[in-house]
Amino acid sequence: YRGLCNFNSNNYKEAIVDFSVAIALSPVFADHYYYRGLSQFIIGNYAAALADYDYMISKNWVSSDVYNNRGLVLLKMQRNVDAINDFSKAIVLNEKNANAYFNKGLAYQNLLQFENALQEYNKAEQYNPGYGYIYFNRAQIFYRMQQFAPALENALKAQSLGIAVDESFIKTLNR
């Protein structure tokens, strides 16, 4: 209980200590590993977060969120292909996981595989059309592909959803 209180209060280092104590007392409770891994991720301890998610998967304590979170860790570690594999597993477990589609799009975008990234962002939009970063990232991709009309359309949509879009970018696309 104390670990979750610390986690929900953004006291991640304290939450890690609390979850570690809870794991020592009862190593079969998956949520302790899940939240310790998430806390480790938030403070940038990616190797430790990966170890917790790997352990959960080795015990078959899997869910769409576990694979999505491990994918995010791998993304931060610049292991984009491995991250794509985890996001794909997250989607198999929950085909409506908009976050997994979005994150998979990020990994493809990092690899400069723009068509694949756009496909993933389109799926993310299908399940979470109010998430402005979908449109912001698509605007960037369309700009890189020199498709300025859809870049502008997506940039304006991102802006309308509260995402800060540099006005010079908008002006460049308006030409």
At 51, list the tokens: 């170890």
Share of the chain above pLDDT 70, in %: 100
Tell me the pTM.
0.92
Give the alpha-carbon dihedral of 43, 46, 52, 55, to 10 degrees: 170
DSSP string spanning 91-124?
HHH-TT-HHHHHHHHHHHHHTT-HHHHHHHHHHH
Calculate the average pLDDT of the chain. Answer: 96
Q: Give per-residue pLDDT as tens, 7-26.
A: 999 999 999 999 999 999 98
Q: Calculate mean pLDDT across residues 149-175.
A: 96
Contact, 104 vs 84, CB < 8 A? yes
Residue whose C-alpha is closest to residue 68's, from 32, 44, 92: 92
pLDDT-based confidence at residue 165 (cuts at 50, 70, 90): very high
What pLDDT score does 102 carry?
Answer: 98
Q: Give per-residue pLDDT as tens, 80-108.
A: 999 999 999 999 999 999 999 999 999 99
Tracing tokens 């304006």 back to the chain, one arrives at 156
What pLDDT score does 175 carry?
Answer: 80
Q: Give per-residue pLDDT as tens, 25-40.
A: 988 889 999 999 999 9
- Tell me the Ramachandran region of residue 131: left when phi exceeds 0, alpha when psi lies from -120 to 50, beta otherwise: beta
Q: Give per-residue pLDDT as tens, 122-140.
A: 999 999 999 999 999 999 9
What pLDDT score does 5 carry?
Answer: 94
Contact, 64 vs 90, CB < 8 A? yes
User: What 8-state DSSP symbol labels residue 55?
Assistant: H
Contact, 65 vs 89, CB < 8 A? no
At 36, list the tokens: 């310790």
Torsion over CA: 164, 166, 169, 174 (sign): positive
Q: Give per-residue pLDDT as tens, 37-75.
A: 999 999 999 999 999 999 999 999 989 999 999 999 999
Q: State the distance between the two ends of the chain, measured CA to CA, in whole angstroms.
A: 56
Share of the chain above pLDDT 90, in %: 94
